[in-house]
Amino acid sequence: MADRAPEVSAVSGEEKGVVRLCARFGHVSDTGRRRHNNQDCHLVLPFDGNGVPQDSATGASPVDLGRMLLVVADGMGGHFRGEVASRMCVENITKEVATQLQASTNGQPEDFTGNLKGAVESAHRAVYAYAQSCADNLTMGTTCSAMLMHGANAEMAQVGDSRCYLFRQGKLAILTQDQTIGNQLRSRGEDAQNVDPQIREMLIQAVGAQAEIEVVMSSTDLEPEDLILICCDGLYKVVSEADIVAILESEAGLQERAQALVNRANENGGPDNITVILTEIDRAVG
């Protein structure tokens, strides 16, 4: 939804010894080769020190990590309902996060985790209410992987099976956990390999798809030279981890690497929509 953004303050105040970080990013969303429309929706949005969303900007300018919201939502549902669900999810999260930041003191809420979780829950209620109001009673929903960066920290909220990855010092780590039948079975100590692969990959929850959801929260620190990858399953289900790492390690620009990930997914058949947000963390200059 958003392109690259202008600079915002990385920390409140100029505390001695505090490392100020910035981020550069590239992002691509593609229909893929077998879908007729793109039901993904994504967002890269910085906020100023008072929690006011900043206009997007083109170019490769760094973005100081005052507050930055990143979201990937992968919609599902017939007759373009998935497209509506993912858009509503992203719009409602954005509105709620902005409201919470602006209501806090100097855009510094006491509980970033609780605020992001509440924003996703609010988005779920909006999408679910809309789905229930439809006369044809079609099920609609969307996955959601949302990250709120603040200073040198990042909070993540997840529903479904879109993913957040951290690429640090040559190693790729998944920061989120797919909410699928297969993972649910494994968490119970059961052998998921005995279940049909298609059933293993079925979601146990999605934003707007059932009355109640459980938003799964996680967090990570941020360091210079980190790469954060947020993507839908249209990428990781068809592009191997080795190929993802090889592309992330290349010397191409971030936008070029994001596009290369999407291109590789399409080269491997592109069976689904593909959305990638790639963010590089660095030390802020000045």
The confidence band for 286, taking pLDDT boundaries of 50, 70 and 90, is low
Identify each DSSP E strand in the chain by its residue range. 21-30, 40-47, 63-64, 67-76, 141-142, 144-150, 153-159, 163-168, 171-174, 216-221, 227-231, 274-283
Average pLDDT over residues 16-36: 86
Is 187 part of any domain?
Answer: no
| Phi, psi for 105 (deg, rounded to 5) | -80, 115
pLDDT at 11 over 50: no
Is 201 part of any domain?
Answer: no
Average pLDDT over residues 245-270: 97
**Residue 249 to residues 192, 212, 280, Cα–Cα distance (Å):** 33, 40, 12
Q: Are 86 and 40 in contact (CB under 8 A)?
A: yes
pLDDT at 6 over 50: no
Average pLDDT over residues 174-183: 92
- Element containing residue 102 per DSSP (H, E): helix 81-103
Among candidates 162, 153, 52, which has minimal Cα distance to 97?
52
Is 6 part of any domain?
Answer: no
Identify each DSSP E strand in 109-215 by its residue range. 141-142, 144-150, 153-159, 163-168, 171-174
H helices present in 134-232, as ranges: 181-187, 197-200
Is 193 part of any domain?
Answer: no
pLDDT at 265 over 60: yes
Number of domains in the chain: 1
What is the per-residue pLDDT across 209-218, written as a single tens digit (0 to 9) for each?
999 999 999 9
Average pLDDT over residues 66-85: 88
Is 189 part of any domain?
Answer: no
Among candidates 135, 65, 44, 148, which has minimal Cα distance to 100?
148
The domain of 255 spans: 21-178+208-283
Is 200 part of any domain?
Answer: no
The pLDDT value given to residue 67: 86
Is 218 part of any domain?
Answer: yes
In eight-state DSSP terms, residue 239 is S
Query: In this structure, what is the dihedral angle of CA atoms 97, 101, 104, 107, given to the nearest 10 degrees?
Result: 160
Is 183 part of any domain?
Answer: no
CATH number of the domain encompassing residue 46: 3.60.40.10
d(CA 94, CA 185) in angstroms, rounded, equals: 33
